[in-house]
Protein backbone atom coordinates (compact mmCIF):
# COMPACT_ATOMS: atom_id res chain seq x y z
CA UNK A 1 0.00 0.00 0.00
CA UNK A 2 1.42 3.38 -1.00
CA UNK A 3 0.20 6.40 0.88
CA UNK A 4 1.82 9.76 0.19
CA UNK A 5 3.66 11.12 3.19
CA UNK A 6 1.67 14.34 3.08
CA UNK A 7 -1.54 12.30 3.46
CA UNK A 8 -0.18 10.54 6.52
CA UNK A 9 1.21 13.72 8.04
CA UNK A 10 -2.07 15.51 7.65
CA UNK A 11 -4.14 12.55 8.95
CA UNK A 12 -1.87 12.38 12.00
CA UNK A 13 -2.34 16.12 12.57
CA UNK A 14 -6.08 15.49 12.68
CA UNK A 15 -5.71 12.74 15.26
CA UNK A 16 -5.90 9.59 13.15
CA UNK A 17 -3.94 6.46 13.97
CA UNK A 18 -1.65 6.38 10.93
CA UNK A 19 -0.15 3.02 11.94
CA UNK A 20 -3.60 1.50 11.73
CA UNK A 21 -4.15 3.24 8.38
CA UNK A 22 -1.12 1.41 6.99
CA UNK A 23 -1.90 -1.99 8.44
CA UNK A 24 -2.33 -4.60 5.74
CA UNK A 25 -5.84 -5.97 5.48
CA UNK A 26 -7.49 -2.81 6.75
CA UNK A 27 -10.26 -1.62 4.41
CA UNK A 28 -9.45 1.67 2.73
CA UNK A 29 -9.60 3.90 -0.30
CA UNK A 30 -6.99 6.56 -0.97
CA UNK A 31 -7.44 9.02 -3.83
CA UNK A 32 -5.19 11.85 -4.97
CA UNK A 33 -6.86 14.18 -7.51
CA UNK A 34 -8.55 11.60 -9.74
CA UNK A 35 -5.98 8.84 -9.19
CA UNK A 36 -6.82 5.83 -7.06
CA UNK A 37 -3.67 5.23 -5.02
CA UNK A 38 -4.88 2.26 -3.04
CA UNK A 39 -8.10 0.34 -2.50
CA UNK A 40 -8.92 -2.56 -0.22
CA UNK A 41 -12.32 -4.05 0.48
CA UNK A 42 -13.09 -6.99 2.73
CA UNK A 43 -15.58 -9.82 2.92
CA UNK A 44 -18.99 -8.22 3.19
CA UNK A 45 -17.67 -4.80 2.27
CA UNK A 46 -17.52 -3.84 -1.38
CA UNK A 47 -15.67 -0.74 -2.52
CA UNK A 48 -15.87 0.12 -6.23
CA UNK A 49 -14.55 3.16 -8.04
CA UNK A 50 -14.92 4.79 -11.42
CA UNK A 51 -12.39 7.35 -12.52
CA UNK A 52 -13.80 10.61 -13.87
CA UNK A 53 -11.95 13.39 -15.69
CA UNK A 54 -11.69 15.51 -12.53
CA UNK A 55 -12.47 13.03 -9.81
CA UNK A 56 -13.82 9.65 -8.82
CA UNK A 57 -17.24 8.07 -8.38
CA UNK A 58 -17.27 5.62 -5.47
CA UNK A 59 -19.66 2.93 -4.34
CA UNK A 60 -19.34 1.46 -0.86
CA UNK A 61 -21.70 -1.34 0.09
CA UNK A 62 -21.95 -3.28 3.33
CA UNK A 63 -23.85 -6.50 2.83
CA UNK A 64 -26.85 -7.62 4.84
CA UNK A 65 -26.06 -8.68 8.44
CA UNK A 66 -22.35 -7.83 8.09
CA UNK A 67 -20.80 -5.82 10.89
CA UNK A 68 -17.40 -4.40 9.96
CA UNK A 69 -15.51 -4.17 13.22
CA UNK A 70 -12.38 -2.27 12.13
CA UNK A 71 -12.76 1.23 10.71
CA UNK A 72 -12.63 1.88 6.99
CA UNK A 73 -10.24 4.66 6.05
CA UNK A 74 -11.09 7.03 3.22
CA UNK A 75 -8.53 9.63 2.26
CA UNK A 76 -9.13 12.11 -0.54
CA UNK A 77 -6.80 14.94 -1.41
CA UNK A 78 -4.91 17.13 -3.81
CA UNK A 79 -1.22 17.44 -3.14
CA UNK A 80 -0.50 20.17 -5.70
CA UNK A 81 -1.15 23.79 -4.76
CA UNK A 82 -3.71 24.05 -7.57
CA UNK A 83 -6.31 21.59 -8.78
CA UNK A 84 -9.88 20.43 -8.79
CA UNK A 85 -11.35 17.24 -7.38
CA UNK A 86 -14.89 15.94 -7.56
CA UNK A 87 -15.81 12.97 -5.38
CA UNK A 88 -19.16 11.24 -5.82
CA UNK A 89 -19.59 8.63 -3.10
CA UNK A 90 -22.61 6.40 -2.72
CA UNK A 91 -22.66 4.54 0.58
CA UNK A 92 -25.24 1.83 1.19
CA UNK A 93 -25.59 -0.15 4.38
CA UNK A 94 -27.84 -3.12 3.84
CA UNK A 95 -30.26 -4.46 6.43
CA UNK A 96 -28.79 -5.03 9.90
CA UNK A 97 -25.24 -4.09 8.89
CA UNK A 98 -22.74 -1.83 10.65
CA UNK A 99 -19.85 0.33 9.48
CA UNK A 100 -17.39 2.84 10.87
CA UNK A 101 -15.79 5.23 8.40
CA UNK A 102 -12.86 7.50 9.18
CA UNK A 103 -12.58 9.91 6.27
CA UNK A 104 -9.89 12.49 5.79
CA UNK A 105 -9.70 15.21 3.13
CA UNK A 106 -6.40 16.98 2.72
CA UNK A 107 -5.13 19.84 0.58
CA UNK A 108 -1.91 20.58 2.45
CA UNK A 109 -0.37 22.98 -0.07
CA UNK A 110 -3.55 24.51 -1.45
CA UNK A 111 -3.33 27.96 -2.97
CA UNK A 112 -6.15 27.41 -5.45
CA UNK A 113 -7.82 24.07 -4.87
CA UNK A 114 -11.48 23.21 -5.43
CA UNK A 115 -12.90 20.07 -3.84
CA UNK A 116 -16.51 19.14 -4.36
CA UNK A 117 -18.27 16.14 -2.94
CA UNK A 118 -21.78 14.89 -3.53
CA UNK A 119 -22.46 12.00 -1.21
CA UNK A 120 -25.53 9.80 -1.14
CA UNK A 121 -25.90 7.64 1.94
CA UNK A 122 -28.63 5.11 2.59
CA UNK A 123 -28.98 3.19 5.82
CA UNK A 124 -31.34 0.28 5.30
CA UNK A 125 -33.43 -1.19 8.10
CA UNK A 126 -31.60 -1.64 11.45
CA UNK A 127 -28.18 -0.64 10.14
CA UNK A 128 -25.64 1.58 11.92
CA UNK A 129 -23.13 4.04 10.51
CA UNK A 130 -20.43 5.92 12.40
CA UNK A 131 -18.97 8.49 10.01
CA UNK A 132 -16.17 10.90 10.95
CA UNK A 133 -14.65 13.27 8.44
CA UNK A 134 -11.65 15.44 9.28
CA UNK A 135 -10.19 18.07 6.99
CA UNK A 136 -6.84 19.80 6.62
CA UNK A 137 -6.67 22.62 4.08
CA UNK A 138 -3.05 23.71 4.58
CA UNK A 139 -2.04 27.11 5.87
CA UNK A 140 -2.60 29.34 2.83
CA UNK A 141 -6.39 29.89 2.89
CA UNK A 142 -6.37 28.58 -0.69
CA UNK A 143 -9.03 25.86 -0.61
CA UNK A 144 -12.65 25.97 -1.68
CA UNK A 145 -14.45 22.93 -0.33
CA UNK A 146 -18.09 22.13 -1.00
CA UNK A 147 -19.35 18.85 0.50
CA UNK A 148 -22.97 17.90 -0.04
CA UNK A 149 -24.70 15.04 1.76
CA UNK A 150 -28.08 13.45 1.06
CA UNK A 151 -28.84 10.83 3.69
CA UNK A 152 -31.75 8.47 4.06
CA UNK A 153 -32.24 6.65 7.34
CA UNK A 154 -34.70 3.79 7.06
CA UNK A 155 -36.49 2.27 10.07
CA UNK A 156 -34.52 1.52 13.25
CA UNK A 157 -31.27 2.92 11.91
CA UNK A 158 -28.52 4.82 13.72
CA UNK A 159 -26.16 7.47 12.38
CA UNK A 160 -23.36 9.41 14.01
CA UNK A 161 -21.86 11.94 11.63
CA UNK A 162 -18.94 14.16 12.63
CA UNK A 163 -17.23 16.85 10.60
CA UNK A 164 -14.05 18.33 12.09
CA UNK A 165 -11.88 21.14 10.75
CA UNK A 166 -9.73 22.58 13.51
CA UNK A 167 -6.19 22.49 12.09
CA UNK A 168 -4.70 25.05 9.73
CA UNK A 169 -6.63 27.47 7.54
CA UNK A 170 -10.03 26.83 6.00
CA UNK A 171 -10.45 29.06 2.97
CA UNK A 172 -14.02 28.66 1.75
CA UNK A 173 -16.15 25.88 3.13
CA UNK A 174 -19.78 25.33 2.31
CA UNK A 175 -21.46 22.20 3.65
CA UNK A 176 -25.01 21.19 2.91
CA UNK A 177 -26.38 18.15 4.63
CA UNK A 178 -29.92 16.86 4.40
CA UNK A 179 -31.17 13.75 6.11
CA UNK A 180 -34.56 12.08 6.18
CA UNK A 181 -35.31 10.00 9.25
CA UNK A 182 -37.89 7.26 9.15
CA UNK A 183 -39.57 5.48 12.08
CA UNK A 184 -37.37 4.76 15.15
CA UNK A 185 -34.23 6.13 13.53
CA UNK A 186 -31.60 8.29 15.20
CA UNK A 187 -29.16 10.80 13.74
CA UNK A 188 -26.52 12.93 15.42
CA UNK A 189 -24.82 15.48 13.18
CA UNK A 190 -21.85 17.16 14.79
CA UNK A 191 -19.69 19.90 13.23
CA UNK A 192 -16.58 21.39 14.83
CA UNK A 193 -14.94 24.28 13.00
CA UNK A 194 -12.24 26.82 13.84
CA UNK A 195 -11.82 29.72 11.40
CA UNK A 196 -8.55 31.50 12.09
CA UNK A 197 -8.20 34.29 9.54
CA UNK A 198 -10.10 36.83 7.47
CA UNK A 199 -9.98 34.61 4.37
CA UNK A 200 -11.82 31.84 6.24
CA UNK A 201 -15.44 31.82 5.21
CA UNK A 202 -17.62 28.97 6.49
CA UNK A 203 -21.24 28.17 5.91
CA UNK A 204 -22.81 24.99 7.25
CA UNK A 205 -26.41 24.05 6.72
CA UNK A 206 -27.67 20.86 8.36
CA UNK A 207 -31.27 19.96 7.70
CA UNK A 208 -32.96 16.99 9.34
CA UNK A 209 -36.44 15.88 8.43
CA UNK A 210 -38.13 13.69 11.00
CA UNK A 211 -40.58 11.72 8.90
CA UNK A 212 -41.33 8.76 11.14
CA UNK A 213 -42.70 7.92 14.55
CA UNK A 214 -40.13 7.95 17.41
CA UNK A 215 -37.38 9.37 15.24
CA UNK A 216 -34.73 11.28 17.18
CA UNK A 217 -32.13 13.78 16.07
CA UNK A 218 -29.41 16.03 17.40
CA UNK A 219 -27.57 18.74 15.49
CA UNK A 220 -24.43 20.10 17.17
CA UNK A 221 -22.71 23.07 15.57
CA UNK A 222 -19.62 24.29 17.43
CA UNK A 223 -17.32 26.93 16.02
CA UNK A 224 -14.82 29.67 16.65
CA UNK A 225 -14.41 32.71 14.41
CA UNK A 226 -10.96 34.14 15.07
CA UNK A 227 -9.06 37.14 13.64
CA UNK A 228 -11.56 38.00 10.95
CA UNK A 229 -12.91 34.49 10.29
CA UNK A 230 -16.56 34.19 9.29
CA UNK A 231 -18.78 31.32 10.36
CA UNK A 232 -22.45 30.85 9.59
CA UNK A 233 -24.28 27.92 11.13
CA UNK A 234 -27.77 27.02 10.10
CA UNK A 235 -29.43 24.02 11.70
CA UNK A 236 -32.93 23.01 10.77
CA UNK A 237 -35.11 20.23 12.16
CA UNK A 238 -38.62 19.56 11.00
CA UNK A 239 -41.05 17.05 12.41
CA UNK A 240 -43.66 16.04 9.87
CA UNK A 241 -47.25 14.91 10.46
CA UNK A 242 -46.03 11.32 10.63
CA UNK A 243 -43.41 12.05 13.29
CA UNK A 244 -45.45 11.15 16.37
CA UNK A 245 -43.31 11.13 19.56
CA UNK A 246 -40.26 12.28 17.63
CA UNK A 247 -37.66 14.44 19.34
CA UNK A 248 -35.08 16.81 17.95
CA UNK A 249 -32.57 19.26 19.34
CA UNK A 250 -30.24 21.82 17.79
CA UNK A 251 -27.25 23.14 19.75
CA UNK A 252 -25.26 26.00 18.19
CA UNK A 253 -22.31 27.41 20.12
CA UNK A 254 -19.83 29.88 18.75
CA UNK A 255 -16.99 31.88 20.16
CA UNK A 256 -15.82 35.09 18.51
CA UNK A 257 -12.35 36.58 18.85
CA UNK A 258 -10.63 39.55 17.23
CA UNK A 259 -11.61 42.37 14.90
CA UNK A 260 -13.80 41.77 11.84
CA UNK A 261 -14.69 38.23 12.90
CA UNK A 262 -18.26 37.23 12.23
CA UNK A 263 -20.34 34.49 13.79
CA UNK A 264 -23.98 33.76 13.07
CA UNK A 265 -26.19 30.91 14.22
CA UNK A 266 -29.64 30.26 12.79
CA UNK A 267 -31.63 27.43 14.33
CA UNK A 268 -34.88 26.67 12.52
CA UNK A 269 -37.46 24.33 14.00
CA UNK A 270 -40.89 23.37 12.81
CA UNK A 271 -43.38 20.76 13.99
CA UNK A 272 -46.49 19.40 12.32
CA UNK A 273 -47.34 16.63 14.79
CA UNK A 274 -48.67 17.75 18.19
CA UNK A 275 -46.86 14.89 19.92
CA UNK A 276 -43.45 15.77 18.54
CA UNK A 277 -41.01 18.08 20.29
CA UNK A 278 -38.07 20.01 18.85
CA UNK A 279 -35.86 22.32 20.90
CA UNK A 280 -32.85 24.51 20.24
CA UNK A 281 -30.21 26.56 22.00
CA UNK A 282 -27.72 28.96 20.50
CA UNK A 283 -25.02 31.17 21.93
CA UNK A 284 -22.25 33.37 20.59
CA UNK A 285 -19.79 35.04 22.91
CA UNK A 286 -16.28 36.20 23.56
CA UNK A 287 -13.61 34.31 25.48
CA UNK A 288 -14.49 33.99 29.15
CA UNK A 289 -12.24 36.37 31.10
CA UNK A 290 -12.16 34.19 34.19
CA UNK A 291 -11.01 31.17 32.21
CA UNK A 292 -8.38 33.30 30.49
CA UNK A 293 -7.01 34.63 33.80
CA UNK A 294 -6.96 31.14 35.32
CA UNK A 295 -4.90 29.72 32.48
CA UNK A 296 -2.54 32.69 32.32
CA UNK A 297 -2.01 32.33 36.06
CA UNK A 298 -0.84 28.79 35.22
CA UNK A 299 1.82 30.13 32.86
CA UNK A 300 0.03 30.01 29.51
CA UNK A 301 0.48 33.04 27.28
CA UNK A 302 -2.69 34.80 26.14
CA UNK A 303 -2.51 33.08 22.74
CA UNK A 304 -2.00 29.63 24.30
CA UNK A 305 -4.83 30.23 26.78
CA UNK A 306 -7.28 31.32 24.05
CA UNK A 307 -6.38 28.30 21.93
CA UNK A 308 -7.01 26.01 24.92
CA UNK A 309 -10.41 27.60 25.65
CA UNK A 310 -11.44 27.44 22.00
CA UNK A 311 -10.56 23.74 21.83
CA UNK A 312 -12.89 23.17 24.78
CA UNK A 313 -15.79 25.05 23.21
CA UNK A 314 -15.33 23.48 19.78
CA UNK A 315 -15.54 19.91 21.00
CA UNK B 1 15.80 33.70 52.36
CA UNK B 2 12.89 35.94 51.46
CA UNK B 3 10.76 34.55 48.67
CA UNK B 4 8.38 37.50 48.44
CA UNK B 5 8.82 41.11 49.45
CA UNK B 6 6.04 43.62 49.12
CA UNK B 7 7.11 47.21 49.66
CA UNK B 8 4.72 50.12 50.21
CA UNK B 9 2.21 48.75 47.76
CA UNK B 10 -0.83 50.82 46.84
CA UNK B 11 -3.34 49.56 44.31
CA UNK B 12 -6.41 50.89 42.54
CA UNK B 13 -9.06 49.21 40.38
CA UNK B 14 -8.63 50.11 36.72
CA UNK B 15 -12.39 50.22 36.16
CA UNK B 16 -13.27 53.02 38.62
CA UNK B 17 -9.84 54.17 39.84
CA UNK B 18 -10.91 53.45 43.40
CA UNK B 19 -8.00 52.86 45.79
CA UNK B 20 -8.22 49.38 47.30
CA UNK B 21 -4.84 48.74 48.93
CA UNK B 22 -2.84 51.35 50.81
CA UNK B 23 0.86 51.20 51.54
CA UNK B 24 1.11 47.44 52.14
CA UNK B 25 4.46 45.98 53.18
CA UNK B 26 5.28 42.44 54.21
CA UNK B 27 7.65 39.57 53.50
CA UNK B 28 7.34 35.82 53.15
CA UNK B 29 10.26 33.55 53.99
CA UNK B 30 11.19 30.47 52.01
CA UNK B 31 9.18 27.31 52.88
CA UNK B 32 6.96 29.20 55.30
CA UNK B 33 3.23 29.80 55.53
CA UNK B 34 1.90 33.32 55.79
CA UNK B 35 -1.77 33.58 56.64
CA UNK B 36 -3.66 36.71 55.67
CA UNK B 37 -6.96 37.39 57.41
CA UNK B 38 -9.44 40.21 57.18
CA UNK B 39 -13.15 40.93 56.87
CA UNK B 40 -15.00 40.82 53.55
CA UNK B 41 -14.06 43.70 51.30
CA UNK B 42 -10.77 44.40 53.09
CA UNK B 43 -8.76 43.83 49.90
CA UNK B 44 -7.41 40.28 50.45
CA UNK B 45 -8.32 38.98 47.00
CA UNK B 46 -7.16 42.22 45.37
CA UNK B 47 -3.78 41.69 47.00
CA UNK B 48 -3.65 38.15 45.62
CA UNK B 49 -4.63 39.35 42.14
CA UNK B 50 -2.07 42.15 42.26
CA UNK B 51 0.72 39.81 43.32
CA UNK B 52 -0.05 37.45 40.42
CA UNK B 53 -0.44 40.37 37.97
CA UNK B 54 -4.09 40.34 36.97
CA UNK B 55 -4.44 43.50 34.88
CA UNK B 56 -7.75 44.65 36.39
CA UNK B 57 -5.70 46.23 39.16
CA UNK B 58 -3.07 48.92 38.82
CA UNK B 59 -0.13 49.49 41.15
CA UNK B 60 -0.08 53.22 41.91
CA UNK B 61 2.99 53.06 44.14
CA UNK B 62 5.33 50.51 45.69
CA UNK B 63 7.03 47.39 44.41
CA UNK B 64 6.79 43.60 44.48
CA UNK B 65 9.92 41.44 44.59
CA UNK B 66 9.80 37.70 43.95
CA UNK B 67 12.97 35.65 44.47
CA UNK B 68 14.83 38.96 44.70
CA UNK B 69 13.61 40.19 41.30
CA UNK B 70 11.17 43.04 40.83
CA UNK B 71 8.06 41.65 39.14
CA UNK B 72 5.66 44.60 39.48
CA UNK B 73 5.51 45.12 35.70
CA UNK B 74 5.74 41.52 34.53
CA UNK B 75 2.67 40.02 32.86
CA UNK B 76 0.70 37.37 34.67
CA UNK B 77 2.02 34.34 32.76
CA UNK B 78 5.66 35.36 33.22
CA UNK B 79 5.18 35.59 36.98
CA UNK B 80 3.56 32.16 36.87
CA UNK B 81 6.49 30.75 34.92
CA UNK B 82 8.85 32.13 37.60
CA UNK B 83 7.04 30.01 40.18
CA UNK B 84 4.28 32.26 41.53
CA UNK B 85 0.90 30.51 41.50
CA UNK B 86 -2.60 31.55 42.50
CA UNK B 87 -5.43 29.22 43.45
CA UNK B 88 -8.58 31.23 42.78
CA UNK B 89 -11.32 31.61 45.37
CA UNK B 90 -14.02 30.89 42.79
CA UNK B 91 -12.30 28.79 40.16
CA UNK B 92 -13.44 28.85 36.54
CA UNK B 93 -15.19 25.90 34.91
CA UNK B 94 -14.12 24.70 31.47
CA UNK B 95 -16.79 23.07 29.36
CA UNK B 96 -15.47 20.31 27.14
CA UNK B 97 -12.08 20.00 28.91
CA UNK B 98 -11.18 16.98 31.01
CA UNK B 99 -9.53 17.28 34.42
CA UNK B 100 -6.50 15.49 32.98
CA UNK B 101 -6.12 17.93 30.07
CA UNK B 102 -6.61 20.90 32.37
CA UNK B 103 -3.91 19.69 34.74
CA UNK B 104 -1.60 18.95 31.80
CA UNK B 105 -2.11 22.49 30.51
CA UNK B 106 -1.22 23.83 33.95
CA UNK B 107 2.01 21.86 34.14
CA UNK B 108 4.41 22.12 31.27
CA UNK B 109 6.81 19.53 32.58
CA UNK B 110 4.80 17.30 34.89
CA UNK B 111 4.64 13.59 34.19
CA UNK B 112 1.38 11.65 34.36
CA UNK B 113 2.46 10.26 37.73
CA UNK B 114 2.92 13.75 39.15
CA UNK B 115 -0.54 14.76 37.95
CA UNK B 116 -2.04 11.71 39.63
CA UNK B 117 -0.04 12.43 42.80
CA UNK B 118 -1.39 15.99 42.88
CA UNK B 119 -4.94 14.68 42.73
CA UNK B 120 -4.09 12.22 45.50
CA UNK B 121 -2.71 15.03 47.65
CA UNK B 122 -5.98 16.96 47.45
CA UNK B 123 -8.00 13.88 48.28
CA UNK B 124 -9.35 13.03 44.81
CA UNK B 125 -8.98 9.56 43.38
CA UNK B 126 -7.13 9.95 40.03
CA UNK B 127 -8.94 7.06 38.34
CA UNK B 128 -12.29 8.66 39.08
CA UNK B 129 -11.39 12.22 38.22
CA UNK B 130 -8.87 12.32 35.36
CA UNK B 131 -11.52 11.79 32.68
CA UNK B 132 -14.20 13.93 34.33
CA UNK B 133 -15.10 17.14 32.54
CA UNK B 134 -14.25 20.49 34.11
CA UNK B 135 -17.86 21.62 33.86
CA UNK B 136 -20.65 22.35 36.32
CA UNK B 137 -21.12 18.65 37.01
CA UNK B 138 -18.19 18.95 39.41
CA UNK B 139 -19.30 20.05 42.85
CA UNK B 140 -17.77 23.30 44.12
CA UNK B 141 -15.72 21.29 46.63
CA UNK B 142 -14.35 19.04 43.88
CA UNK B 143 -13.56 22.03 41.69
CA UNK B 144 -11.72 23.69 44.60
CA UNK B 145 -9.61 20.58 45.14
CA UNK B 146 -8.79 20.45 41.42
CA UNK B 147 -7.77 24.11 41.67
CA UNK B 148 -5.33 23.15 44.43
CA UNK B 149 -4.05 20.24 42.32
CA UNK B 150 -3.54 22.58 39.37
CA UNK B 151 -1.38 24.81 41.56
CA UNK B 152 0.63 21.82 42.85
CA UNK B 153 1.44 20.51 39.35
CA UNK B 154 2.98 23.89 38.50
CA UNK B 155 5.64 23.12 41.12
CA UNK B 156 5.60 26.74 42.27
CA UNK B 157 7.95 28.40 44.72
CA UNK B 158 5.07 30.36 46.24
CA UNK B 159 1.41 29.35 46.27
CA UNK B 160 -1.17 32.01 46.90
CA UNK B 161 -4.34 30.26 48.00
CA UNK B 162 -7.33 32.58 48.07
CA UNK B 163 -9.84 31.21 50.58
CA UNK B 164 -9.58 27.53 49.61
CA UNK B 165 -12.01 26.91 52.49
CA UNK B 166 -14.83 29.23 51.35
CA UNK B 167 -18.07 27.51 50.47
CA UNK B 168 -16.92 24.19 51.96
CA UNK B 169 -18.82 22.22 54.54
CA UNK B 170 -17.53 22.68 58.09
CA UNK B 171 -16.65 18.96 58.32
CA UNK B 172 -14.17 19.43 55.50
CA UNK B 173 -12.02 21.95 57.41
CA UNK B 174 -10.05 19.27 59.19
CA UNK B 175 -9.50 17.53 55.90
CA UNK B 176 -8.45 20.79 54.26
CA UNK B 177 -6.00 21.41 57.10
CA UNK B 178 -4.47 18.01 56.38
CA UNK B 179 -4.42 18.70 52.63
CA UNK B 180 -2.59 21.98 53.12
CA UNK B 181 -0.17 20.35 55.55
CA UNK B 182 0.46 17.56 52.99
CA UNK B 183 1.03 20.09 50.24
CA UNK B 184 3.53 21.96 52.39
CA UNK B 185 5.47 18.80 53.13
CA UNK B 186 5.30 17.39 49.60
CA UNK B 187 6.15 20.52 47.62
CA UNK B 188 8.58 22.63 49.69
CA UNK B 189 6.68 25.66 48.45
CA UNK B 190 5.92 28.73 50.54
CA UNK B 191 2.24 29.48 50.96
CA UNK B 192 0.35 32.74 51.24
CA UNK B 193 -2.97 31.57 52.61
CA UNK B 194 -5.99 33.84 52.63
CA UNK B 195 -8.60 32.56 55.05
CA UNK B 196 -11.07 33.45 57.79
CA UNK B 197 -10.68 30.08 59.49
CA UNK B 198 -8.68 29.61 62.64
CA UNK B 199 -8.85 25.85 62.04
CA UNK B 200 -6.62 26.31 59.04
CA UNK B 201 -4.78 29.43 60.13
CA UNK B 202 -2.94 27.50 62.85
CA UNK B 203 -0.64 26.25 60.10
CA UNK B 204 0.83 29.74 59.90
CA UNK B 205 4.41 30.69 60.62
CA UNK B 206 3.48 34.35 60.20
CA UNK B 207 0.20 36.17 59.77
CA UNK B 208 -1.19 39.53 58.78
CA UNK B 209 -4.49 41.31 59.37
CA UNK B 210 -5.80 43.34 56.47
CA UNK B 211 -8.52 45.88 57.17
CA UNK B 212 -9.96 48.52 54.83
CA UNK B 213 -7.06 48.07 52.45
CA UNK B 214 -4.35 48.44 55.08
CA UNK B 215 -2.19 45.78 56.68
CA UNK B 216 -2.93 46.85 60.24
CA UNK B 217 -1.03 44.12 62.06
CA UNK B 218 1.64 41.49 61.38
CA UNK B 219 2.94 38.84 63.72
CA UNK B 220 2.14 35.42 65.17
CA UNK B 221 -1.19 33.97 64.05
CA UNK B 222 -2.73 33.96 67.56
CA UNK B 223 -1.95 37.63 68.07
CA UNK B 224 -3.25 38.55 64.65
CA UNK B 225 -6.40 36.55 65.32
CA UNK B 226 -7.00 38.42 68.60
CA UNK B 227 -6.69 41.74 66.76
CA UNK B 228 -9.04 40.44 64.08
CA UNK B 229 -11.67 39.32 66.61
CA UNK B 230 -11.43 42.64 68.46
CA UNK B 231 -11.86 44.50 65.22
CA UNK B 232 -14.90 42.56 63.96
CA UNK B 233 -16.56 42.49 67.39
CA UNK B 234 -16.16 38.77 68.17
CA UNK B 235 -15.51 39.41 71.87
CA UNK B 236 -16.16 35.88 73.14
CA UNK B 237 -13.81 34.41 70.59
CA UNK B 238 -11.26 37.05 71.47
CA UNK B 239 -11.42 36.17 75.19
CA UNK B 240 -11.05 32.47 74.40
CA UNK B 241 -7.98 33.14 72.29
CA UNK B 242 -6.43 35.27 75.04
CA UNK B 243 -7.05 32.56 77.65
CA UNK B 244 -5.64 29.92 75.34
CA UNK B 245 -2.56 32.05 74.81
CA UNK B 246 -1.87 32.52 78.52
A312 in contact with B, Cβ within 8 Å: yes
CB pair distance less than 8 Å for B77 and A296: yes
CB pair distance less than 8 Å for B105 and A293: no
Residue B7 buriedness (CB in 10 A; 0-12 / 13-18 / 19+)? middle
Secondary structure of B179-203 in HEC code, one letter for each residue: HHHHHHHHHCCEEEEECCCHHHHCC
- Looking at the predicted structure, is the pLDDT value of residue B100 above 70? yes
User: Which stretch of A24-33, A73-82, A277-286, B184-193 has the lowest confidence by average pLDDT?
Assistant: B184-193
Q: What is the mean pLDDT of residues A65-77?
A: 96
Other Cβ atoms closer than 10 A to A294: 24
Report ipTM for this prediction.
Answer: 0.91
CB pair distance less than 8 Å for B96 and A312: yes
- Stretch 280-309 of chain A: residues touching chain B, C-beta under 8 Å: 288, 290-291, 293-302, 305, 308-309
CB pair distance less than 8 Å for B105 and A295: yes
Quick one: closest CA in A to B91, which residue? A294
- Report pLDDT digits (tens) over A199-234: 999 999 999 999 999 999 999 999 999 999 999 999
B96 pLDDT tier (thresholds 50, 70, 90) = confident
CB pair distance less than 8 Å for B92 and A291: yes
| Angle of CA points A43, A46, A48, to nearest 5° | 145
- Report pLDDT digits (tens) over B170-223: 556 677 778 888 888 888 899 999 987 777 777 889 999 999 999 999 999 888
Among the partner residues B86, B95, B105, nearest to A308 by beta-carbon distance: B105
Among left, alpha and beta (phi > 0; psi -120 to 50; other), residue A147 is beta
The Cα–Cα gap between A279 and B189 comes to 51
User: Which stretch of A87-91, A266-270, A311-315, B71-75 has the lowest confidence by average pLDDT?
Assistant: A311-315
Residue A270 buriedness (CB in 10 A; 0-12 / 13-18 / 19+)? exposed
CB pair distance less than 8 Å for A297 and B54: yes
The Cα–Cα gap between A4 and A195 comes to 27
- Report pLDDT digits (tens) over A297-313: 999 999 999 999 998 88
> Looking at residue B196, what is its pLDDT?
72
> Looking at residue B239, what is its pLDDT?
64
CB pair distance less than 8 Å for A295 and B54: no
Among the partner residues B81, B96, B97, nearest to A299 by beta-carbon distance: B81
- Looking at the predicted structure, is the pLDDT value of residue A285 above 90? yes
Q: Which residues pair with B59 in a beta bridge?
A: B11
> Looking at residue B28, what is its pLDDT?
96
**Residue pairs spanning A and B at CB distance below 8 A:** 58
- Report pLDDT digits (tens) over A93-129: 999 999 999 999 999 999 999 999 999 999 999 999 9
Q: Which residues pair with B69 in a beta bridge?
A: B66
The share of chain A scoring above pLDDT 70, in percent, equals: 100
Which H/E stretch holds residue B224?
helix B221-232
Amino acid sequence: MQIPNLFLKSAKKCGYDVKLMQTSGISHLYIESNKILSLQGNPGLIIKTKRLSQGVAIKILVKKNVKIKKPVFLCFGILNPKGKQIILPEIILEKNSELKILAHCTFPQATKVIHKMKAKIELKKASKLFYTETHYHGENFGAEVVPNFKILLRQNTYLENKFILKQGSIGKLKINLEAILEKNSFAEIDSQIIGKGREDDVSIFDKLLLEGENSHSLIKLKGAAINGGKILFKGETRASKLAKNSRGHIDCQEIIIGKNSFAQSIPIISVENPEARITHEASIGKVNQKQLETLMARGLSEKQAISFIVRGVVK
Amino acid sequence: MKILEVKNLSVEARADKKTILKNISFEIEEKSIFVLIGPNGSGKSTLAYTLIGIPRFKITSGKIFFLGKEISKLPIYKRARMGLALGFQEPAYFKGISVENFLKACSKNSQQKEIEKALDLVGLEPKKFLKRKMDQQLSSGERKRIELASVIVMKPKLMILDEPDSGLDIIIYKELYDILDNIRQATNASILLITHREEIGFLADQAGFLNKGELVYKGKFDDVMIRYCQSVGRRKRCRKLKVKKT
